[in-house]
Amino acid sequence: MYVFKYYKEKAIVKKIYNNNYTLQPQCDWHDYVRTDSPTIVQIGAHDSGVEGEEYGLQELLTTKNSNVILIEPVPEFFDNLKHAYSQFENCNICFENSAITSTTGTIKIKKQGVCSQISDDGDVEVQSLSWLDLQKKYNLTKIDCLLVDCEGYEETILTELIDYNTISIPLIRFEYMHIQNKEKVVSYLQSKGYTLYYCMWDPTYNFIAVK
């Protein structure tokens, strides 16, 4: 099944090439963190180091005095997340137990093993926070690196929720594996001035968008 998914995704990437949505070779997203004290926001942080979901974030934090906001809506993952990052005393880390959606309130999530996704017929009710309220709560005018992994909801966050006129985000790393309309997301980000690369940490699943 994994092999099937791998080649299916490669075929989709090839189609993107054929439609002139240029993707560059693999790169290490660490190379594009251009400050020693970056602000990093991770949406869908899961439990990070425990399950390997951080894709190199913890390695970066050993060398950068970062301001980090880790966002994870599922309570059991959230508790493990806080434990996984307790070692990084050199960084200012905030933990947000919410889902980023269009409105602030509550929302249902369907939990399937180690994965979870927003769904009307979900079995877990969690807190939700709008993108605008996230910006206000943490006084965000610039995010040096935005990491997004939320089982297909990346499309909504990147193309609908973020107002790129109100915040500077020079680097985005996002999982594309579960996005239904990958070409739309690639095209939209390119229209905002981003160059897209394969993520060296996991090119089968992740793209990097750089300004």
pLDDT one-digit tens code per residue, 136-195? 999 999 999 999 988 889 999 999 999 999 999 999 999 888 888 888 999 999 999 998
User: CA 16, CA 19: separation in Å to the nearest integer?
Assistant: 5
For residue 141, with 0-12 CB atoms within 10 Å meaning exposed, 13-18 middle and 19 or more buried, which class applies?
A: exposed
Cα 35 to Cα 28, 32, 120, distances in angstroms? 15, 9, 40
Residue 2 carries which side chain, given as an amino acid letter? Y
pLDDT, tens digit (0-9, with 9 covering 90-100), for 99-147: 999 999 999 988 776 677 777 787 889 999 999 999 999 999 999 999 9
The whole-model pTM stands at 0.83
